[in-house]
A and B are shown apart, each in its own frame.
Chain A
Amino acid sequence: MKIRHIILAAALSLLPALAHAEAKLADFSLADRIKAKIAAGQPLDIYVSYHDVSNEFAPFMKAGVQRAATSDKVNAQFIGPVGADADGQISEIETLMSKMDGLAISSVSTDALAPLIDKVIAAGIPVVTFNTDNPESKRLAFAGQDLVQSGREAGKLMAKVLGGKGKVMITTIDAAAQWSLDREKGAREALKAEPGIEVVSTLNTGTDPQKIYSAIENAMLANPSISGVLSLECCSTPAAGTWVERNKAADKVKVVGFDLLDQTVQLVQSGDVQATIDQAPEKQGFAAVDLIVQFLKGQTIENLDTGVGVYTKENIAEVAKK
């Protein structure tokens, strides 16, 4: 118990040093095994652990990882649990630890994965985070969208399409997940700045598509005064848009959401979703591997914002399938 307190205190004292998020190899005690590999000019084995390899974004992330592997001449493996499962993610990384020369990770849960990340770092293996950051850990840098910031952007867009006035419902497929909490925080911050806008509730829809739609349908019936739906992720965005489309409510209810699923793109085109924010998953996968490689080459790395793309009816044609 005492030892744990000491470690905690030590970790806390390190936090300010890490806060400016800049890392270089000279300050890192790299495992001898990896040093020898670099000296011998052998290809490095980088593992990229994504929090759910069965979701829609995984194939794009994987493509980015493969592109980086080719251009940086390393072996990069895309791993992670099927379905967001913290235990699964932890045990897979533990199993592979002795083989990895670098790890990029998007955590299922910040709290559950932080000790593991610190353990990997303690073993002399560099770790960066991508897509979903883990600020509780000692990770070297983060590549991805700043989630609170992307939430804030969504909030601002919502305020804009509502003309600064209305009742907003926030929807999410997993209200307790870290990424959702971060985006919700940003969105609520931005909406709070608008005196004419009231956030009515946060609707937790669950992940099954049928349940997502039913939850939205029920909530809209219960609160007929809602004029804005702000979805925090990929999957309740098209569901909210579909509800608007089927109820011919585009004049009354404005939807702002995330990502560029096929259905979402079409609903933006038809005017049932007003705006959607893209998070460029391929770029995130690429940056995950590239950051580690840069670090091992001795370059200084720091947090990398892979950016926010805003798509509305005006520019959605750029990403629509021909």
Chain B
Amino acid sequence: MADTVRSGARAAAAGRFELSRLLRVREAGVFIALVVICLFLTFATDAFLTSLNLLNIGRQVSLLGIMAVGMTFVLISGEVDLSVGSTYAFSGLVTGMLIIAGCGLLPALAVGLFAGAVIGVINGILSTYGRLPSLIATLGMLSIVRGAALILTNGQPVTVNARNGALPDVLETFSFMGQGYLFSVIPMQLVFFAIIAVLAWLVLSYSNFGFRVYAVGGSAKAARVSGISVNTVKIWAFVLMGLLAAFAGILSLAFLPSGQAGRTGLGLELDVIAATIVGGASLSGGEGTILGTILGVLIIGVMRNGLVLMGVSPFVQELMIGLVIIIAVGIDKWTTRRAT
């Protein structure tokens, strides 16, 4: 049994070697697009290429980035998760409510993350053993989890501060997670994003689990034949996504430090999926890298930042971001076709 698994993984690895050269080309495409946008903004506005603004961008993309890392696993495994915006709101609000109820930091964080993991397990089971397409299962969960957050908070904002009952030392650490700076320069949110991205890159590129995620998304049948439990791999991808969405939601509340179940993270799932797709992940599974996702997240973040800096009308901004998504993915597809 162990031998079949290993040879299956080896076969997947051999297949991936060819693929990885292709992927490197793809990342180059996204990278060039990012450089072009940055160069343009550098000349178009004085405020863009300043250390303050670049650190702002770093912070502004971090939460999107943390979630996009999770989405990369889910998309590569051939599934999609639409419930992440709701999970982000729910876990953040639960953690916040516990903290203002006088709970310690670790238990509050654990409950928030656990909630995210449970949502991931449900998404995973519905999409595998439940035989629902993940698009449908997670669309349902999007609504269920948002509803649960509204019921839990009664639609009231949750503001984490001492006056509402947060313990001083808990508040200090919690605030530092969202608002603090490492070496008084690098926003903590960016630090978390960097750590998570590196870990995810290691897992996806070098671990057995990473092999299996690619194998399952590339061809579920081939993966099953080579002894990989397709359902288990997919459920784990959803759990990872749930955990990361929960963590991003908790960091968001720590930063603001207020959230509201009707607004927090509304529509965020589309931003997350857009960033991941721009980074080269494929909705049909089997393709995508963490590096590509990071570049995709940066393109979306730099665009949002740059358009505001240039004073572009808010309505035109929406249009421009849509265009960038289409052009970025388009260039990717057109150049790849020519290359093959």
Question: Contact: B150 with A56, CB < 8 Å?
Answer: no
Chain A residues with CB below 8 A from B227, complex form = none
Nearest chain A CB to B205 CB, angstrom units? 30
Max chain A C-beta neighbours (<10 A), residue from B154, B260, B315: B260
Q: Which residue of B lies closest to A261 (CB)?
A: B157
B258–A262 contact, CB under 8 A?
A: yes
Contact A218/B255 with A54-B155, A82-B262, A261-B157 known, Cβ cut-off 8 Å:
no
Across-interface contacts of A215 in B (CB, < 8 A): 308
A201 within 8 A of B: yes
Interface residues on A, range: 35 or more
A225-249 vs B, CB cutoff 8 Å, 1 = contact: the mask equals 0000000000100110010001000
Q: A168 on the interface (CB 8 Å rule)?
A: no
Residue of B nearest to A322 (CB): B163
CB nearest neighbor in A for B158 = A262
Report the separation of the CA atoms of residues A221 and B309 in the bound assembly, to the nearest whole angstrom.
Answer: 7
Residues of chain B lying within 8 A (CB to CB) of residue A242: 256
Q: For residue A209, which residues in chain B have a CB less than 8 angstroms away from its CB?
A: 252, 256, 258-260, 263-264
Interchain CB contact under 8 A, B314 and A59: no
Interface size class of B (residues with CB under 8 A): 35 or more
CA distance A53 to B154 in the complex (A): 10
The residues of B that contact A219 with a CB separation of less than 8 Å are 308
Q: Is there an interface contact between B309 and A208, defined as CB atoms closer than 8 Å?
A: no
Near A by CB (< 8 A), chain B positions 39-90 give: 45, 47, 50, 52-53, 56, 60, 63
Q: How far is the CB of B218 from chain A (nearest CB, A)?
A: 35
| A98 neighbours in B (Cβ, 8 Å) | none
* A208 and B267 contact, CB distance less than 8 A: yes
Over the window 50-69 of chain A, the binary record of Cβ atoms lying under 8 Å from chain B Cβ atoms (1 yes, 0 no) is: 00111110110000000000
Residue B291 is within 8 A (CB to CB) of chain A in the complex:
no
The reply to whether A266 and B161 contact each other, CB–CB distance below 8 Å, is: yes
| A200-217 interface with B by 8 A CB criterion | 201-204, 207-210, 213-215, 217
A250 within 8 A of B: no
| Contact status A204-B263, CB under 8 Å | no
CB of A53 to closest CB in B, whole Å:
7
Considering the complex, which residues of chain B in the window 245-276 have a beta carbon less than 8 Å from any beta carbon of chain A? 252, 255-256, 258-268
Specify the chain B residue showing the minimal Cβ separation from A203.
B314
Q: Indicate if the CB atoms of B260 and A55 lie closer than 8 Å.
A: yes
Any B CB within 8 A of the CB of A199: no
Contact with B along A161-189 (1 / 0, CB 8 A): 00000000000000110000000000000
Question: B305 interface residue, CB < 8 Å from A?
Answer: yes
Once A55-B263, A204-B314 are accepted as A-B contacts, the answer to whether A222 and B258 lie under 8 Å apart by CB is no
B335 contacts A by Cβ under 8 Å:
no
Nearest-neighbour CB distance to chain A for B47, whole angstroms, equals 5
| Chain A residues near B264 (CB-CB < 8 A) | 208-210
> A262 with B157: in contact, given A209-B252, A210-B256 (CB under 8 Å)?
yes
- Compute how far the CA of A59 lies from the CA of B256 in the bound complex, rounded to whole angstroms: 22
Q: Mark B171-213, 1 if CB is under 8 A from A, else 0.
A: 0000000010000000000000000000000000000000000
Cβ A221 vs Cβ B56 within 8 A: yes
Contact across chains for B263 and A208 when beta carbons are under 8 A apart: yes
B156 at the interface (CB under 8 A from A): yes
B258 touches A238 (CB 8 A): yes
Which residue of chain B lies nearest to A55 when distances are taken between CB atoms in the complex? B262
- Contact (Cβ within 8 A) B260 A263: no
Decide yes or no: A53 and B63 within 8 Å by CB, A175-B314, A208-B268, A242-B256 being known contacts: no
B60 — nearest CB in chain A belongs to which residue? A214
Question: Are A221's CB and B314's CB within 8 A?
Answer: no
- Judge if B164 is at the interface, Cβ distance under 8 Å: yes
CB closest chain-B residue, reference A222? B309
Select from chain A the residue with minimum beta-carbon distance to B249: A210
**A56 in contact with B308 given A213-B256, A217-B56 (CB within 8 Å):** no
**Which chain A residue shows the least CB distance to B164?**
A262
A207 with B154: CB separation less than 8 A: no
- Give Cα A169 to B267, complex, Å: 26
- Excluding A82-B262, A221-B50, A222-B308, 20 further A-B contacts by CB distance (< 8 Å) are A55-B155, A55-B262, A56-B157, A83-B266, A201-B311, A203-B314, A209-B252, A210-B255, A213-B255, A214-B304, A217-B56, A218-B53, A221-B52, A221-B56, A235-B263, A239-B256, A262-B159, A262-B164, A262-B258, A263-B258
10 CB contacts below 8 A, A to B, read A54-B263, A56-B156, A59-B155, A201-B311, A203-B314, A207-B266, A217-B56, A221-B309, A242-B256, A321-B163
